[in-house]
Structure 1
Amino acid sequence: MNHLEVAPSAGRAVRSVISITLVCFAVSMIDGFDTLMLSFVAPLLAKSLQIDHASLGRVFGAGFVGTVLGSLIIGPLADRFGRRKMLVLALVVTGGFTLACAFASSAGTLAALRFLGGLGMGGAIPPIAAITAESASSERRSSLVILMFIGFPLGAVVGGAITAALMMKFGWPLVFLMGGSCALAAIIPVLLIIPAATPAEATIKPALQDNNGLAGSLLARFVGNLFAEGRLAATFALWFGVLASMILSGFLVSFMPTILNLNGVAPDRAALGAVVINVGAIVGALLISLIVRRGAPFVAVAVSFVAGAVMVFTLGRVIGAGNAAFGLLFVVGACIVGGQLTFPAIASCLFPTGVRAAGVGWTLAIGRTGSIIGPVVGGILLGQNWSLGHLFLAAALLALFAALGITLANLWRPRGDGTLRHKPFAKFMMTGREVSNGKH
């Protein structure tokens, strides 16, 4: 009798988790498309509005800065005021300002609109990562968050294909209209399927109000107690790894077509380099999600980055070897960019409910900063005529730094019982309140 009574309830719970994850996956896809759509329309847009390369670069930069600030700001606000509320706000901001881009008539206007829209684009991921994590069991949390975030590059790939099919026929404004409309339309399933508050969210405000030590300042409240309970060293180690890996991928995705072309690959085939990396990323993230179905992804991702370092170093020696180079690009995408798609899941494991959205948001902001630094530094090094051997050796070292950061984050993160894995850092990572209370 008990089995018959429990089974329907368990089935409803599973269906609820699947529905919530699918909605978050759809938001992730839309966010990926809206974030990268400017890359798809840039050539036609520049010609239509007579925008030079420098001005177009400022438009790109404005959007990137907006996404960084959006992640930093909306993550903590989602912990404070509710995941669903902030997700709806992010979608409204993304949709409204993306629609407005379709009517922009100058580079300055477009840059301002992309900056404002970027606040919503960057702010959408922290709430959906927290919602997905808190809807799942602890055993399935990492794999579901990874699967959810695969929607981001998939949205870019699908959006790029749709753009290529429609833009030449209907013009670049249609791309912005489509992206903005999808963001606004996503509000409906968000309100219908995602609960106003997860059971875990009920513990957030009391936990924040109870901490009179770290939350004593305005900055500490805004950050959301990220470093409390022994997370300081683990958090900085994670951010070090995230920054190193995103500098690497920002360089690879931005300049791989150029490097391939400079080494004898025809321009039309060289353009496929970035596509191959992203397809590899999706496959790599899927494999990692299968490996970590019942655990945290730290170890699997660290191993993936070490393997990626070897592949990147090898790539520098076969870059002009035609199909062999494309095969290595796929593996590099799977190891490096596929590993990066687990960052929201890793942050969801490191940060507890009360600061989960803030932790994911700040982690992604660090990563997006790296993806801005990568192309800038890569361009400087290419301009100084670095040899491919030296260039890809430096890239491989970045992958090893990423593996080191993830490994140290796993070593130093608190255990489930609140104690620290690395004893010499225990006192250093305590909050002021814990030290004053004599907790050792």
Structure 2
Amino acid sequence: MKGASLVDVQELINGHPFGRFQRLIFFMCFVIVLLDGFDTAAIGFIAPSLLTQWHVAKSDLGPVLSAALFGLAFGALVSGPLSDRVGRRALIVGSVFLFGVACVASAFSTTLSQLTVLRFATGIGLGAAMANAVTMIDEFCPTGRRATVTTLMCCGFPLGAALGGLLAAWMIPHAGWRSVLMLGGATPILHGVLLWLKLPESVRFMVANGKPVARIRATLGRISEDVIHARGFVLTESAPATGDNGLGLVLSRSYIVGTLMLWLAAFMGLVIIYALINWMPILLRDAGLSPKSATLVSALFPLGGVGAVLCGALMDRFNANFVIATCYALAAVGLFGIGVTAGTVSLLIPVVLVSGVLVNTAQASMNALAATFYPTEGRGTGVAWMLGMARFGGVAGSFLVAELVRRHFTLVGVFATIAIAGALSCIALLVKQASPPHVFGTQPDGVGSLSH
């Protein structure tokens, strides 16, 4: 390479294998998402123990089940614009430490009020960590593998949630419900140390924001030694630029329809997921299953998210909006089937597993869809705000089931109502497909450059 060369960052990444350095970043971000899933789902799995030990009604659990979700939304909405200004790394490291410390503290709660406040604090860290982990890995991926790699990473969330259920089924009888929260907090604190030592800044962010060439060269040099003599770097975007950044870009005339449809689809997806994660153990126990069986069957639902790997590969080859919309449509059918088969465990198990595959696959794939929809100047905000708005769907899902239970809906009625959310997510993505982003007037192409 000539000494006076300019290097296109994305072309360099595309031209080299997904190597050891990128795999390390993937591993660190995967663990963040895994811990996010474990921690987010933990409260649902300990809920039956809270009912027994603290002698509270099921309807009283609404605020504590939703507190982390409000925190998740707040953390995502605030961290997205910040990450587009100050970078991804600092927010990831700080947020992982925050949710670890808050989760450990929540294990020492003695009242629902204390637990609610600490779950909100935990949620702030979870929301910021998840959103920025998605953005980070997307910005180190080859273009043709972005959806596959990002959705593979996001499989950590349902795996973490399923792991939480399996461990909770064993830990609660032996060590009590507080042990689940202790484990869910101590692990991210340890992982935060690794992140602080090893996690780099996003190279795409550094180029787009004019960071020093030497710093960019040092990071890219771990992908390819070809950059050692580069005098500067440029960044070519696949998504059209608008001249705005952050929230201004996300809500610009070019992107507003797609943004709103992403929000709606992700919102409804989390209505489904959190309604079932938080309430399925209780609903199945009321349907006649033993507490242990109800917990184990419920743990199959988030485990289905491993299907996101196949979905990501399909998204890289076919129309991503159509692929995810199909998953949501089929999920709606499966969710209705859970209510119908709840009385027969041999039928219930495969229906829960298949429904979990479809719902969690679709929802995990939404992260990759959002990350590829926006250019670098607005990617952090776009991904984080979609996740933030989606978290309100989690809140709505928790309260929805509480209200349906209060109104004495049958089990079939509860799951039929939840299935409607899947149909709405499907429709939203079809509308997004019909309204692709484009630049109005004469705006420059999405190319940033840096040289000295």
Task: Provide the C-alpha distance between the structure 2 equivalents of 1:162 and 1:260, rounded to a whole number of angstroms.
Answer: 19
Aligned-residue offset at 1:56: 4.5
Letter in 1 for 2:37: G
Indicate how the Cα distance of structure 1 residues 408 and 276 shifts in structure 2: closer, same or farther if over 3 A, else same: same
Aligned-residue offset at 1:149: 1.0
Query: Between Structure 1 and Structure 2, how many residues are aligned?
Result: 403
Tell me which residue corresponds to 2:222.
none
Tell me which residue corresponds to 1:274.
298
Indicate how the Cα distance of structure 1 residues 132 and 171 shifts in structure 2: closer, same or farther if over 3 A, else same: same
Tell me which residue corresponds to 2:98.
93
Tell me which residue corresponds to 1:244.
268
Tell me which residue corresponds to 1:107.
112
Q: 1:41-80, aligned counterparts within 5 Å?
A: 41-44=46-49, 56-80=61-85
Which shifted more, 10-19 or 357-366? 10-19
- 3-state DSSP of counterpart to 2:354: helix
Q: 1:199-348, aligned counterparts within 5 Å?
A: 199-204=204-209, 223-228=247-252, 230-261=254-285, 265-282=289-306, 284-294=307-317, 297-348=320-371
Tell me which residue corresponds to 1:158.
163
Contact 1:140 1:294 in 2 (8 A): no
Indicate how the Cα distance of structure 1 residues 72 and 169 shifts in structure 2: closer, same or farther if over 3 A, else same: same
Q: Structure 2: where are the runs of 5+ without partners?
A: 1-11, 212-234, 236-241, 445-452
Indicate how the Cα distance of structure 1 residues 389 and 163 shifts in structure 2: closer, same or farther if over 3 A, else same: closer
Tell me which residue corresponds to 2:400.
377
Indicate how the Cα distance of structure 1 residues 177 and 308 shifts in structure 2: closer, same or farther if over 3 A, else same: closer
Q: Structure 1: where are the runs of 5+ without partners?
A: 1-6, 208-212, 216-220, 420-429
RCO (CA 8 Å, sep 6+): is it higher in 1 or 2? 2
Indicate how the Cα distance of structure 1 residues 92 and 270 shifts in structure 2: closer, same or farther if over 3 A, else same: closer
Tell me which residue corresponds to 1:39.
44
Tell me which residue corresponds to 1:364.
387
Q: Does 1:83 align with 2:88?
A: yes
Please give the per-residue CA displacement for 1:273-327, whole angstroms capped at 9, x wherever unaligned: 3222122232x22321232344663221111112222333444444434312322
Indicate how the Cα distance of structure 1 residues 72 and 205 shifts in structure 2: closer, same or farther if over 3 A, else same: farther
User: Over aligned residues, Cα RMSD in angstroms?
Assistant: 3.3
Task: Provide the C-alpha distance between the structure 1 equivalents of 2:271 and 2:296, rounded to a whole number of angstroms.
Answer: 21
Greater fraction of residues in helix:
1
Please give the per-residue CA displacement for 1:241-290, whole angstroms capped at 9, x wherever unaligned: 222232233334444445545555555434433222122232x2232123
Contact 1:142 1:296 in 2 (8 A): no
- Give the TM-score normalised by structure 1: 0.80
Task: Provide the C-alpha distance between the structure 2 equivalents of 1:87 and 1:193, rounded to a whole number of angstroms.
Answer: 12
Letter in 2 for 1:305: Y
Tell me which residue corresponds to 2:375.
352
Task: Provide the C-alpha distance between the structure 2 equivalents of 1:313 and 1:49, rounded to a whole number of angstroms.
Answer: 33
Task: Provide the C-alpha distance between the structure 2 equivalents of 1:361 and 1:111, rounded to a whole number of angstroms.
Answer: 23
Which shifted more, 370-379 or 163-172? 163-172
Tell me which residue corresponds to 2:24.
19
Letter in 1 for 2:260: F
Tell me which residue corresponds to 1:3.
none
- Give the TM-score normalised by structure 2: 0.78
Letter in 1 for 2:193: I
Aligned-residue offset at 1:334: 1.2
Tell me which residue corresponds to 2:180.
175
Aligned-residue offset at 1:228: 2.7
Contact 2:18 2:141 in 1 (8 A): no
Task: Provide the C-alpha distance between the structure 1 equivalents of 2:370 and 2:255, rounded to a whole number of angstroms.
Answer: 11
